[in-house]
Structure 1
C-alpha cells in the first residue's frame, strides 16, 4: 500500500511539474533587433509623423495552450527615438515631449491576458511614461513559434494600442488631433536556455 501511495505521489509530482513546465521564458531578440516599437501621431491635423525607438528590450513567459498565463515586461530607451529628422528627434527628446534627460526609460508590465480569439488576446498592463503609470490594453496577435536556423527556439507577436499624451503629464500642445498616439509593437523572443 505504501509503495502504491509513493508511486502515485511520484507520478502526480511528475505530471504537475510537466504541466508547470509548459510555459517557457523568452528574451526579446534585441541582439538581432527583431523587435520594434513604432508610433504615429497627427501633425497639426495636416499629416502624420511616424517614428520608432531603436533601443528596446524585454522578456516574456508564454504557453500557446494557456495564453492567459502569459506575462511580459518591455523597456524602451526613450532617447533612442528616431523620426528620420535629427532636429525633430532632438525636440521630441526635450522637456517639451519625452524629457529623456529626466525620464530615460518607458516600461510596460502586463497585469492580465484575456484571449479574444484564435491567436489573439487583450493584454492589459501598466505603461510608465514620463514618470506616470497608467493602465493600457494592447490588442495582441500571436504570430507563431518554432525552431530557428541557429539552434534556438522563437515565438513572435504583434500588438497595437492608442494612448493619449495628456494622460502622461503636461506636454507641448500641438492641437487636439495630436493628443492620440498610435503604437505598433512587434517582436520575437528567443527561448531562454
Structure 2
C-alpha cells in the first residue's frame, strides 16, 4: 500500500528553531484545534481523471509523547464526520449521506493507537484501531516528528505529520465509483499543547 509523507502547512511555532529542545520525559498534549494548528485532510481520485480534496473541520484529541521513547507514544483522535468540507456544498451533502460517510448513523470516526514502531531519525509508524462508518479495523500511519519546544505565549508544544491510505469498501462505504476511486488518502498535521 503506497503511503505519502507530507510536510506542508506547518505553523511558525512548529518550525521555529529558536523553540526546539530535546525531550527529557513523556508528556501529555491536547491537539491544538482551536488555534488551527492541526488538520485532517483527505484526497480521493475522481474516476481516474482528477482528485477530490477536502478536510474535516471539527475534531479533537490528545497524545502522549517523548522524542527519546517514540515506542511509548499514544494518540487518540475523534472526528466529527458532519464537518466534512470539500469546498462544494452539494457534494458535501452527498458525502454525508449513506452512500459515503453515513453521518446520520455514524456522526463520529476515531483513531486510537495500539503500538508505535520507531524507524529512527524521528520517523515512526503509528499503529491503531480506526473506526469509520461503524467499522473498526487496524490502520497504520507513517509519521514524522517535526519538533517540540516552548512557544512565545508560555506553553510547550510538540508536533508531527502523518499519512495513510485505506480502502473505502473495507469500511462498508456503499458508493462504488470504480477502481481508481477505491482509496482515501489521509494527510495529518498534528500540533499539541502540553497539558
Bin for the TM-score computed over the shorter chain: 0.7 to 0.9
Task: Give the TM-score normalised by the residue count of structure 1.
Answer: 0.87
Runs of 4+ in 1 over 3 A off after TM superposition: none
Counterpart residue number, 1:11: none
Aligned residue runs from structure 1 range 29-178, under 5 A: 29-178=32-181
Between the aligned partners of 1:171 and 1:189, the Cα distance in structure 2 is 35
Residue 103 of structure 1, CA deviation: 0.5
Tell me, yes or no, if the aligned pair for 2:133 and 2:173 is still in contact at 8 Å.
no
| 1-structure distance, mates of 2:115, 2:140 | 9
CA contact (8 A) 1:35 1:56 kept: no
TM-score w.r.t. the length of structure 2 is: 0.86
Provide the secondary structure at the position in 2 that maps to 1:65.
helix
Residues in 2 aligned to 1:107 and 1:126: alpha-carbon distance in whole angstroms: 8
Deviation at 1:122, TM superposition (A): 0.5
Gaps of 5+ in 1: 1-20
Normalized per residue, the structure richer in helix is 1
Greater Rg over alpha carbons, structure: 1
Unaligned stretches of 5+ residues in structure 2 = 1-23
